Amino acid sequence: MSVSSKWVGHQQEFNDLELFQFKIDRLQKENPDKIIAGGYLEPRALYTSNTYERTGNSGRESRTIHLGVDFWLPANTPVHALLDGEVVTTFNHPKDKDYGGLIILKHQEESIEFYTLYGHLTTDSIAQKQPGDNIKKGECIGYLGDQTQNGNWAPHLHFQIMHSMLNHIIDFSGVACYHQIDVWKGLCPDPNLLFKLENLKPHENTTNEELITYRKKHLGKSLSLQYKTPIKMVRGAGQYLIDQYGNKYLDTVNNVAHVGHENYAVVKAGQEQIALINTNSRYLHDNINQLTKELIETLPPELNVLHFVNSGSEANELAIRMVKAATGQRDIIASEVGYHGNTNMCIDISSYKFDGNGGKGAPEHTHIFPLPDAYRGKYRGENTGEQYALEVQKCIETVHQKGRKVGAFIIEPIISCGGQIELPDGFLPKAYEYTRAAGGLCISDEVQVGCGRVGKTFWGFQLYDVIPDIVTIGKPLGNGHPLAAVACTQEVADKFANGMEYFNTFGGNPVSSAIGAAVIKTVKHQNLQQHALKIGEFLKEELKKLAIKYPIIGDVRGQGLFLGFELVDDNMNPLTDHADYLANRIKDHGILMSTDGPDYNVLKIKPPIIFTKENAEELIFYLDKIFAEDYMKSIKKYSNK
């Protein structure tokens, strides 16, 4: 029989063991004359049992590097010894994702003593052998077990070579942590030294340095990478991202993966629909109506018309186009450090961009009011909402002085790039009142905060008891699939339908609609809005306790699982370098964080909303540990709070 290396290097692509089993079964049927084999030092994300997890000085880590080779064959396939040897171990490991039946042989070749390990055998196999038994080369030592006997795996043989048993008696690790790989390579040599099979030779993988070099040469020069030492991610699973070595990172940043990376229901909905048809919205289809119904159920009755697009940027672009059609005006009022997308029109209303590096300031028809930050903004403390609303009124007066009228006022309910800024009490109702009195429309940019993330309400604007004229929805709606939407009133929709057709090739296509509906249904059926509230409140309280312990934390803010905390010195000056150090340092402990705000001194927390209390406790534990490090305490003097 020949050996196929078709599976070498690909285990990390499988989302679950059932799919893995299916793929193995299919390959065996397609290639009955071949042994399906997979490889030495291969990183795998299949080891899901807690026995593969440990917590060390560098935080949580998983054993993911395979130290042997696997041969996938049908259950009850006989297994023969490669060399003369002596049985030193026969043991049944019945736990989930363990060895099942295990036999280890000791060999002596001239002056060299070494061991071979045969895992995932039947229980009868190990009953027939006893430690001390002599085994001849080619002798049958057992049979491959099925899932009821082999640790609940697809039937296969795990074969491994060891120079030493390290005083183990009944087992030996078949998987190791990536950062210990050099030690394990010396202890467990490549089994292909015995087989000498061409297809079992380790594959050469592209290094991160090579990927970075290629990016710098051929991708846009303005593209950035996260972290001082970038990571290559190859898989997502729930609230985790997994790199090419199988290392898991707790993701506190990715609000795009709203209901969890590679959520099963969402992936299944997309797969099933794309296998049938994907086309544009000029044809009738149930899916676009179903997604519309799911969204309308979450919105105030006034907002009952939807247009589907492909991104948050495109949603805001369309919203501004609607404003121009409905009001005949071009002047837009927006917040300082606001960000609304990467298209031309969105950049023109995004102070975060045009007031930053490479920007040229506000265009003629954009009017910026001060960031409504009650902690370090122009107006500080309680009861600042009216003062910031009057700044919106000043913008309105500026528009009037130019002989024009207001088109719209746009803002995020919690300002993301501005540093997770909660709007001061009373600000938004007054700002809406002033805008509407001037004939303008009110836009709530929910691209980052929407779909239940803020916990108390499904949409961010509902936190402030207002109803916008237009709502833009983005990132969370597709859970990583390019899908966004614009919700508006009938009045706005009627004025927008002025004879010029609005058509979007991919907006609202059956696949995107199936995925979006699955996301909203998952939020509803799993009570994830309530979950975000519960976990968010717990995490926020724990962060406030850290702020008492470490006065470098100047403010903790946000709602639900859209939180932030700001690092400042005694004089409330931003500690940008400390924030950067924290984000990069906590990565060493397997947690992903990122900075934001005008001074990049705010750590933002916006994970998938399936984030658990245990995840929150882990985050707090390592934040506490890092805040206690010398660098984080290297501020001249803390003031009491």
C-alpha–C-alpha distance, residues 607 and 615, integer Å: 10
Chain segment 411-464, per-residue pLDDT in tens: 999 999 999 999 999 999 999 999 999 999 999 999 999 999 999 999 999 999
Sheet holding 591-592, edge to edge: 233-237, 240-243, 248-251, 591-592
Dist. CA 617–CA 611, nearest whole Å: 11
- Domain(s) labelled CATH 3.40.640.10 in the chain stretch across 264-525
In which residue are the tokens 């490991």 written? 93
Residue 503 burial by CB count (10 A; 0-12/13-18/19+): exposed, middle or buried? exposed
603 in Cβ contact with 609 (< 8 Å): no
Give the rounded distance of the alpha carbon of 198 from its chain centre.
37
- Per-residue pLDDT tens digits for 31-75: 655 556 678 888 887 776 677 887 777 777 888 899 999 998 899
**pLDDT category of residue 198 using cuts at 50, 70 and 90:** confident
In this structure, how many other beta carbons lie within 10 angstroms of the beta carbon of residue 206? 10
pLDDT for 196 equals 83
Strands 34-38 and 2-4: parallel
Over 60: is that where the pLDDT of 151 sits?
A: yes
Residues 6+ apart with CB under 8 A from 217: none
Q: Which helix (H) or strand (E) holds 316?
A: helix 312-327
Q: How confident is the model at residue 194 (pLDDT cuts 50, 70, 90)?
A: confident
Distance, CA of 535 to chain centre: 17
Rg (CA), the chain: 29
> Where in the chain are all domains bearing CATH 3.90.1150.10?
212-259+526-641
Other C-beta atoms closer than 10 Å to the C-beta of 541 total 12
Residue 58 Rama label (left phi>0; alpha psi -120 to 50; beta) = alpha
What is the pLDDT averaged over residues 336-348? Answer: 94
- List, as one string, the DSSP characters of 370-400: ----TTTSSS-SSS-HHHHHHHHHHHHHHHH
Three-state secondary-structure class, residue 293? helix
Provide, rounded to the nearest whole percent, the portion of the chain with pLDDT above 70.
93
Confidence of residue 14 (pLDDT cuts 50, 70, 90): very low
214-223, 528-537, 607-616, range with the lowest pLDDT: 214-223
pLDDT tops 50 at residue 13: no
Distance of CA 3 to CAs 20, 39, 94, 203, Å?
Answer: 19, 12, 29, 15
- pLDDT tens digit string along 252-280? 999 999 999 999 999 999 999 999 999 99
DSSP states of 549-618: H-TTEEEEEEETTEEEEEEB-TT--B-HHHHHHHHHHHHTTTEE-EEESTTS-EEEE---TT--HHHHHH
- Does residue 23 have a pLDDT over 80? no
Q: How confident is the model at residue 393 (pLDDT cuts 50, 70, 90)?
A: very high
- Indicate the pLDDT class of residue 9, thresholds 50, 70 and 90: very low
Q: What is the pLDDT of residue 579?
A: 97
143 contact partners, CB below 8 Å, separation of at least 6: 75, 76, 77, 78, 79, 121, 122, 124, 125
* Residue 538, SS3 per DSSP: helix
The single-letter code of the amino acid at 219 is: L
Domain ranges in the chain with CATH number 2.70.70.10: 2-200
pLDDT value at residue 6:
35
Considering only residues 640 and 153, tell me which one the structure prediction assigns the higher pLDDT: 153
Burial 328-349 (b: 16+ CB within 10 A, else e): ebbbbbbbbbbbbbebebbbbb
Closest CA to 639 of 559, 547, 569: 569
**Which pLDDT score, from 0 to 100, does residue 26 have?**
57
For residue 292, what are its two tokens? 């519309």
pLDDT at residue number 37: 66
Residue 232 pLDDT exceeds 80: yes
Q: Inform me whether the pLDDT recorded for 20 exceeds 60.
A: no
Angle at 350 between CA 344 and CA 354, to 5 degrees: 80
Amino acid in position 149: Q
Q: What is the average pLDDT across 391-399?
A: 97
> What are the structure tokens assigned to 34, written together?
């071949």
Q: Is the pLDDT of residue 482 over 50?
A: yes
Whether residue 7 has pLDDT greater than 60: no
Block residue for tokens 């002599």: 134
Query: Directed axis angle between helix 613-627 and helix 576-587, to 10°?
Result: 120
Instruction: State yes or no: pLDDT of 5 exceeds 70.
Output: no
Fold designation for 264-525? Aspartate Aminotransferase; domain 2 (3.40.640)
Structure confidence at residue 319 (pLDDT): 97
Give the single-character DSSP code of 156. E
Q: Which residues pair with 105 in a beta bridge?
A: 87, 116
In the predicted model, is pLDDT for residue 29 greater than 70? no
Whether the predicted pLDDT of 356 surpasses 80: yes
Question: Beta strand pairing status for 78-80 and 591-592?
Answer: unpaired
Predicted confidence band of residue 1 (pLDDT cuts 50, 70, 90): very low
479 neighbors 259 (Cβ within 8 angstroms): yes
Give residue 12's pLDDT.
33
Q: How many CA atoms lie within 13 A of 214 on its CB side?
A: 6
**Maximum pairwise Cα distance, the chain:** 99
Residues of the chain with pLDDT > 90, as a percent, come to: 78
Can you give the pLDDT at residue 501?
87
Nearest residue to 598 via CA among 360, 370, 383: 370
What are the residues whose beta carbons fall under 8 Å from the beta carbon of 386, sequence distance 6 or more? 426, 427, 430
- CA-based nearest residue to 181, from 40, 331, 2, 4: 40
* Mean pLDDT value of segment 241-256: 92
DSSP assignment string, 240-286:
EEEETT--EEEESS-SSSTT-BT-HHHHHHHHHHHTT----TTS--H
Both tokens of 237, joined, read 């699973």
DSSP 340: -
Assign residue 591 a region (left: φ > 0; alpha: ψ between -120 and 50; beta: otherwise). Answer: beta
Give CA separation, 221 vs 214, 345, 361, in Å: 12, 22, 22
pLDDT for res 333:
98
In the predicted model, what is the mean pLDDT of residues 215-219? Answer: 90
Tokens of 222: 């303005």
Per-residue tokens: 83: 């060399």
How is domain 2-200 classified at the architecture level of CATH? Distorted Sandwich (2.70)
Architecture in CATH for domain 212-259+526-641: Alpha-Beta Complex (3.90)
State the chain's mean pLDDT as an integer.
90
| Residues contacting 385, CB < 8 A, separation 6+ | 372, 423, 424, 425, 426, 427, 428, 430
Q: What is the pLDDT of residues 284-326, one digit of tens each?
A: 999 999 999 999 999 999 999 999 999 999 999 999 999 999 9
> The pTM is what?
0.88
pLDDT reading at 342 higher than 80: yes
Question: What is the secondary structure of 178-228 as a DSSP string?
Answer: GGGHHHHHHHS--THHHH--GGGSPPPPPPHHHHHHHHHHHS-TT---SSS
